Structure 1
């Protein structure tokens, strides 16, 4: 086995920390304010236990499923994340890795690679949209995604607030000017492998966001696009319904954490929802997504596909989410650490780690398929769940 292979997401994170400049790494791990939600996303999975079986196990297990009508080889999808300066190949490497492991990829509208390149690397690409600019601006981005061949869109509404971080936010420049290069030189030189990757490409990290380019214009910087988002009036449910009507295909609404809003999403006509708190980078103090999942799955799981993101670090976490009602999960930080650790191969490694963990957990639970999982497989402590926006109390069962 190659000595570059790692056996856990935790090891991928350790290598990412070692290889990345401090400011780049800290941008990956941070959450809003005190980090309560970030920590709960992780800690809540630890509160759940399994009810394994002793005999009657199946020699072969089936991990494949369908999400939004597309077959995937495991119930793990790549969540869209912004500018991926952890590796020169960025989103293209991630897309290739996902294609090699038989799953779908989400591309952020704030990503560093154009959608045309990402779709070429993985035909199962979903384009992620923020409610930014005018309706005409948004329609232009949808048209570009449609022309490029995106199979669906993801409307992200779980990034709604601008918060500080108690431990300080890393300095992220708007552009890599000579002055900024000088500022970052000391920490970059302390991480020669990261610097060498970019030196081989003869390109500096690109902080522009090409998928936000206006017709006939140039790509704005990340903060230029962020500024437009900050100045745009937040969308209403009528806006969500309007946007759904503009896209004839799979439509995932990311950011649902309340039962009442899950029902409103169904009324707006979405194909699927992702129970999400933006990885702890939204309103701090929001409960972990796995706590909110069961009530939402009970309320709308028969109407739309329910996904989950937030806190997934191992295959057993995926199994817990599926047992509590998720169709599949999306991962963010986990694959970014893999990308930093080894490029495309590192992302493939992370997906393999999760696949192996799902498979071994299915074996212990005595199931042949991920579709056989149920709440009987998980021990849920009293008071674990939170049915936000509902008068129904979630109890252990």
Structure 2
């Protein structure tokens, strides 16, 4: 099958990846209500079609945090992407750089920040706060030395949400000989992945935090248990002062759904926020990212950069989010599916599809420049999630 949409990459990834890794990418927390809302609420927003306008020239670029993005799309941090394709984070970062899009590297990536910077370009760096502050100081120093231009501080994971699919698949909770056997059989059923990733994609460790791991040589899925036990749930807004002492570049707070938290980010002198519910992978039953976006953009959009992730599956979704106040959208599952489907080439193709879809949406709404995108591009009837404010 040749992929024509983000949904096609999902199907291709499902076929190629072992079930434990596909379900880890694809699933959300609990009953996955918020995961479904993220997509459904974006679909429910209607664009306002306009005709007979000169749309010869389109400007998709945006300026943010001292950078020029070719289009308002970036790649969200996705954990363990090196298990979806051989040295996967490097492949994805190369595709993003070629498309003029920022790539944000997860704290719990397989490839280290140094490897990604050498193999592609210096990524934005996503920070999870671990209890070992000495190691976190060292990690921030490594990110700075690698040339990372932006720190994305993810604050909505003081404890991992319960993800039923991961338990059912054996990704979490499986241990001992039976767990290893189950995972081994899952891998053997996907020989292309076994050759590309398992045989030739080593080492299978968490490159950024390997030095802090208490145990070596275990399965990559075992490392997540250690990381979960070491996430620091005592973190407060006051801890941004500590982060600032180790990081003098832009800081973006990811995981904001509430206006008061967005205002707190302004008070703490953050340079941006990502309106996000962690892709529906944390607290199930909360509102969608797109329904939270307008109020947050209205409240703080003049004081810092407002980004969004969650549910973006097309270039049309990107324009809808921009019209409601997002400077750019970050996609997570979209690029993880593409990476699992076909590595760097597939991620590049996915980004090209988003760009093409965004161009069509701009032309047929009369939007010549992304910097001018506003709510006039939307048909905001009473049923639209964009009016639930």
Partner of 1:65: 62
**Offset, 1:205:** 7.0
Number of residue pairs the alignment of both structures matches: 382
Partner of 1:244: 244
Partner of 2:157: 159
**Offset, 1:245:** 4.4
1:80–1:106 contact (8 Å) kept in structure 2:
yes
Change (3 A) 1:217 1:23: closer
1:198–1:205 contact (8 Å) kept in structure 2:
no
Is 1:331 the counterpart of 2:331? The answer is yes
Change (3 A) 1:176 1:118: farther
**SS of aligned partner of 2:125:** strand
Q: How far apart, CA to CA, are the structure 2 residues paired with 1:123 and 1:152?
A: 13
Q: How far apart, CA to CA, are the structure 2 residues paired with 1:176 and 1:60?
A: 57
**SS of aligned partner of 2:153:** strand
2:89–2:110 contact (8 Å) kept in structure 1:
yes
Task: Give the structure with the larger helix fraction.
Answer: 2
Pairing of 1:288-299 with structure 2 (within 5 A) = 288-299=288-299
**SS of aligned partner of 2:238:** helix
**Offset, 1:181:** 4.7
Deviations 1:57-80 (A, max 9, x none): 312311111221111111101111
Q: How far apart, CA to CA, are the structure 2 residues paired with 1:69 and 1:82?
A: 26
**SS of aligned partner of 2:111:** coil
TM-score by length of 1: 0.89
Change (3 A) 1:140 1:167: closer
**SS of aligned partner of 2:29:** coil
Partner of 1:191: 190
Is 1:259 the counterpart of 2:259? The answer is yes
Match of 1:116 among 114, 117, 120: 114
Which ranges of structure 1 fall in alignment gaps of 5 or more residues? 388-392
Q: How far apart, CA to CA, are the structure 1 residues paired with 2:374 and 2:161?
A: 37
Q: How far apart, CA to CA, are the structure 2 residues paired with 1:186 and 1:228?
A: 30
Q: CA RMSD in A?
A: 2.5
Q: How far apart, CA to CA, are the structure 1 residues paired with 2:227 and 2:71?
A: 34
Partner of 2:227: 225
1:294–1:385 contact (8 Å) kept in structure 2:
no
Change (3 A) 1:224 1:298: same
Q: How far apart, CA to CA, are the structure 1 residues paired with 2:246 and 2:282?
A: 27
Q: How far apart, CA to CA, are the structure 1 residues paired with 2:166 and 2:213?
A: 38
